[in-house]
Amino acid sequence: MRRRRGRGADRAGLHDGVLHEDGFEVFPLRDDYRCTPQSVASHTLYENADPFELKEPSGTLRTANARYEAISDRAVRVSGSEFVHDPEYTIKLEGVRQVGYSTILMGGVRDPYILAEIDSWLAQLDDSIKTRIRNTIGDRPYEIVTRIYGRNGVMGALEPQHAVGGHEVFILWDVISGSQELSRSIASSVSHLAVHNPIPKWHGLISGVAFPYSPPEIDRGPVYEFHLNHVLVPDSPTSLFRTEYEEL
């Protein structure tokens, strides 16, 4: 089971534990800290989808019937949880793949007329980018991820509020392609097209995006995503791991 054992080098989060056949006791090392049944039970919440079914290598820790008892004003005894072994020994395999190279642009918009029609402004920008890229770099694959902070930049698809409520937005463009040079070249086009992307209200060449940095393109190097999420059944618990013995 994952255990977070404190922040940094201080002893604030350090705990000691005593294991018994039928349970364990836990208490903090610092005198002015204490464990309570609530605080210890809360540990099953942390970064787990279900606090009563904790998936671990080779089995599941079931905590639905666990009892958390205070045995002093700062120590807790836990018993009654149950480890259910899987039929086979398993090892979790996680891995990533490189999806390309990223160059980002950061910019802000304050013009209320652009903000009032931000969706059509972005759609029009998207069209101009596609046309420009098709005419300059051709068919080489690329992707542009646009995040609008002030609208749904933090929550994306999970955001229930879709309107811009404030007087400015921050826009983060992330250009991803097969090489750093290509991503930077596309980002450079995006920055020019974005800053001059017209709206019906204004006549003439507008300057609609504030870039805090010049040049605005920032190379982010190779970028990755999760690609492998498998449960492996090895021949034996140790068969996948090389063990070398040395005589000392």
Partner 1 sequence: MTASGATLGDLAKLVRSKNAGPFWLTIDIMFDDPNAYRRARDAEIVNRAAIARLYNRNPADIIVVNHDTALAIKVSFPRPQSSGSKYDSDAYGGQQYAPLLGLEVPG
Distance CA 221, CA 195 (A): 24
Shortest distance, CB of residue 39 to partner 1, whole angstroms? 8
Q: How many CA atoms lie within 13 A of 74 on its CB side?
A: 10
The residue from 18, 154, 231, 233 that contacts partner 1 (CB under 8 A) is 154
DSSP-based three-state secondary structure for 66: coil
Distances (CA, A) of 12 to 24, 29, 34: 21, 8, 11
Q: Is 145 in the site for partner 1 (CB under 8 A)?
A: yes
Task: Kindly report whether the peptide bond that precedes residue 215 is cis, defined as omega within 30 degrees of 0.
Answer: yes
119 counts as binding partner 1 under rule CB under 8 A: no
Q: What is the closest distance, in whole angstroms, from the C-beta atom of residue 105 to partner 1 in the complex?
A: 15
- Binding map of partner 1 across residues 42-81, x = CB under 8 A, - = no contact: x-xxxxxxxxx-------------x-x-------------
Instruction: Write out the binding residues for partner 1, residues 161-200 only, by CB under 8 A.
Output: 174, 176
- Of 37, 59, 108, 178, the one binding partner 1 by CB under 8 A: 37
Choices 112-120, 143-151, 188-196, 200-208; region in contact with partner 1 by CB under 8 A: 143-151
Number of chain residues interacting with partner 1 (CB under 8 A): 35
Determine the 3-state secondary structure of 48 from DSSP.
coil
With CB under 8 A as the contact rule, which of the stretches 5-13, 20-28, 153-161, 236-244 interacts with partner 1?
A: 153-161
Binding residue for partner 1, selected from 9, 157, 163, 248, defined by CB under 8 A: 157
Q: Nearest 5°: CA angle at 122, between 142 and 136?
A: 40
Interaction between residue 160 and partner 1 (CB under 8 A): yes
Q: What is the DSSP letter of 5?
A: -
Pair 139, 184: CB distance under 8 Å:
no
Compute CA distances 35 → 23, 71, 200, whole Å. Answer: 16, 10, 63
Q: Which of 21, 139, 225, 247 binds partner 1 (CB under 8 A)?
A: 225
